[in-house]
């Protein structure tokens, strides 16, 4: 029972931390619903795109069957690095996200599915880079039963996310508040999730791996400072 509760909690936490930006994008999609672009296009497209993200992330689980558990925990550095990066960089403005949606081009699968569904699926998958960075170490540190529960929670929450986004399009003030405070909390949730992955995998119980973790973390932090510093200079110029 404890394992089930832990898997459900982990699934909810990981999904919530990685899909705040999807909420904004879904709201933009729902605001464009008309006679040719229906709500069910958005639901199906979101599920297709998210399925691609999960399928890509499953490489972490199969890698976890080969590598020692303590070494798998080093993958927890990925969500920590993503969280640190989010703390340092400026968030995308909604106008930029909307521009990406309008200029996105569906791939060749448009010949098999409607352009509306493919547009949503392509944007969802393209926006899932951070999701994959979190799910790969999460899946790698999970056993078969926990993985099944986590993925089930994910797909349940996809539907709830779509429904919430649709409802929020009718209450703009509430949506703006959720987006603002949610984006502020996401980096800390990701850092905590990465730390949990390393702790749960026993990585920090090994002195050499602990030293390696601290060294890589410092290098990543320095690299992020340099990268974001250069980005700021480019924007100023």
Can you list the residues of the chain whose pLDDT is less than 50? 91-95, 97-98, 100-104, 106-112, 234-235
Tell me how many domains the chain contains: 1
Q: Which domain holds residue 92?
A: 2-236
Cα distance between residue 77 and residue 98, in whole Å: 31
Overall residue count recorded for the chain in this entry: 237
Instruction: Give the single-character DSSP code of 71.
Output: H
pTM: 0.65
The stretches of the chain forming alpha helices (DSSP H) are: 2-18, 20-30, 39-57, 59-64, 69-72, 77-88, 94-103, 115-126, 129-140, 144-168, 172-200, 207-236
């Amino acid at each position: 029972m404890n394992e089930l509760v832990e898997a459900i909690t982990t699934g909810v936490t990981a999904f919530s931390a990685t899909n705040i930006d999807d909420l904004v994008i879904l709201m933009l999609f729902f605001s464009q619903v008309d006679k040719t672009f229906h709500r069910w296009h958005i639901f199906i497209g979101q599920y297709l795109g998210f399925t691609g993200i999960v399928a890509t992330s499953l490489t972490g689980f199969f890698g976890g069957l080969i590598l020692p558990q303590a070494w798998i925990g080093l993958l927890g550095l990925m969500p920590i690095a993503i969280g640190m990066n989010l703390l340092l960089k400026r968030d995308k403005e909604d106008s930029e996200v909307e521009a990406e949606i309008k200029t996105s081009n569906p791939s060749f699968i448009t010949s098999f599915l409607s352009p509306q569904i493919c547009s949503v699926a392509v944007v969802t998958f393209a926006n899932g880079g951070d999701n994959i960075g979190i799910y790969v170490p999460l899946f790698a540190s999970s056993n078969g039963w926990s993985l099944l529960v986590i993925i089930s929670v994910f797909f349940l929450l996809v539907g709830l996310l779509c429904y919430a986004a649709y409802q929020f399009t009718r209450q703009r003030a509430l949506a703006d508040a959720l987006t603002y405070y949610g984006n502020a909390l996401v980096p800390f949730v990701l850092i905590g999730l990465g730390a949990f992955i390393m702790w749960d995998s026993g990585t920090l119980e090994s002195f050499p791996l602990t030293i390696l973790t601290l060294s890589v973390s410092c290098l990543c932090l320095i690299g992020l400072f340099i990268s974001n510093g250069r980005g700021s200079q480019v924007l100023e110029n």
